[in-house]
Amino acid sequence: MAGSKYKESGVDIDAANRAKKKIAELARGTWGTEVLSEIGNFGGLFEMPRGLRKPVLVSSVDGVGTKLKVAFLARKHDTVGEDLVNHCVNDILVQGAEPLFFLDYIASGVLDPAIVADVVTGLARGCTENGCALIGGETAEMPGFYAAGEYDLAGCIIGVVELARVIDGRSIRPGDAVWAFPSSGLHTNGYSLARKIVFDEAKLSVDDMVPGTGRSVRDALLAVHRSYLPEIRDIRARTEIKGLAHITGGGLLENIPRILPAGTAVEIDVSAWQAPPLFRFLAERGGVDPMEMHRVFNMGIGIIVIVATDAREAMESAAGRWKPFPIGRVVEGDKKVRLV
C-alpha cells in the first residue's frame, strides 16, 4: 500500500483522530443537558438557560501567553488548560456573567496525542470546576510553523448575565472601598520578563528552587491561575458589587481604570499587603523598578472588588477558598490609580 503523502508532508491524520477521540471523552465529562451537539460537529449547540428575563451574552477570547514556554521546559502540560479557562472565567465575571460554555484552539507543528490529552485534561478540569461546558474547538497541525515540541493555546468563553445584574462600574463613587483577592502567583501575565530574569539572568532551571519561596521554578511559575467565581457569586448574594477588575497584563495600574467612571480615581495602600516572595525575587534579581513591577505583574492580587464602605461585614464573611482584604478607596480624580 502506498504511503500517505500528507503524512510525509508532516500531517498525521491518524494521530489527529486519536487526539480528537480523547478530547471528546474529556469534553463530555463537562456537559449538562444544555449541550445539544457532539464533538466533531461543525458548530457546538448550547441551549440558553431558562428563567432569564433579559439575558445578556458576555464573551471573551484569550490565551496564556509565554507561560507556555515554561510548560515546554518543564514538560508539564496538564495545568495550562486550567489556567486558560480560569482566566477567561474571570474576564467575564467582572461584568457579572456566569460561564455557559467554552471552546479551545490548540495548534502545533506535529501533533502529539499525549500532550494534547494533557492540555485538554486541564481544560476539562477548569470547565468542570467552573460549571462550564467544553463543547468544541479546533486542533490544528501546522508543520513548519511551530518549533518541535511546542504548541499554541487559546480559548473562547461565552457566559450570561441578566441585564439588570450587569456590573459596569457606573455606580462607583468617591468614598467606596477597594478590596482584593490574593493571586496564586503570576497567573498568566508577565512571563516574558519573568522568564528572562529566572532563566537568563539568574540561570535557574525548572528543577531549581526559587530563592526565598521554598518552591521550585516549575511549581512557582506553573501555579494555576485562580478562578474567583465562587467567591464573587457569594459576595453578590450579600451586597452590591459596584465594580470588578481582573488584574492581568498592566497590573493594578492599568486594569482598575478600565472600570472607573469619569470623575473618580483609586488610591491603593501598598502597605495593605506584602507581595509574595516570588515577586520580591523577580524585583531584586532583575533590578526591576517598583512602578514597573506594578505595571507588569499582579503583585499578589488576582481580582479587585469595589463596594460601598458599609459592605465590610459582607466582604469579611464571604465564603470560598480565597479571602479578600481591603487595599484602598475610591477618590475624586482622573480615572487613574495612585499607589500611596
Residue 127 Cα distances to 53, 82, 86, 132, 213, angstroms? 26, 8, 8, 5, 30
CA R_g for the chain: 21
The pLDDT, as a whole number, for residue 214 is 96
Give the model's pLDDT for residue 1.
Answer: 42
* CATH topology classification for 177-339: Phosphoribosyl-aminoimidazole Synthetase; Chain A, domain 2 (3.90.650)
pLDDT tens-place string over residues 51-72 = 999 999 999 999 999 999 999 9
Domain boundaries, the chain: 5-165, 177-339
Q: What is the pLDDT of residues 13-36, one digit of tens each?
A: 666 677 777 788 888 989 999 998
pTM of this structure: 0.93
pLDDT on residue 292: 96
Whether the per-residue pLDDT at 91 is higher than 50: the answer is yes
160 pLDDT above the threshold of 90:
yes
Amino acid 145: pLDDT = 93
Tell me what the pLDDT averaged over the chain comes to. 94
Name the band, by pLDDT with cuts 50, 70 and 90, for residue 172. very high
- One-letter amino acid of 30: T
| Cell numbers placing 154 | 487559546
Are 102 and 127 in contact by the 8 Å Cβ rule? The answer is: yes
- Tell which CATH architecture fits domain 5-165: 2-Layer Sandwich (3.30)
The answer for residues whose C-beta is within 8 angstroms of residue 5's C-beta and 6 or more apart is: none
Q: What is the pLDDT of residues 111-141, one digit of tens each?
A: 899 999 999 999 999 999 999 999 999 999 9
User: Which pLDDT score is estimated for 213?
Assistant: 96
> 253-284: per-residue pLDDT in tens?
999 999 999 999 999 999 999 999 999 999 99
Residue 4: its pLDDT value, please?
A: 65
Give the pLDDT confidence score for residue 18 in this predicted structure.
76
pLDDT (0 to 100) of residue 7:
63
Q: What's the rounded mean pLDDT across residues 208-219?
A: 97
pLDDT at 290: 95
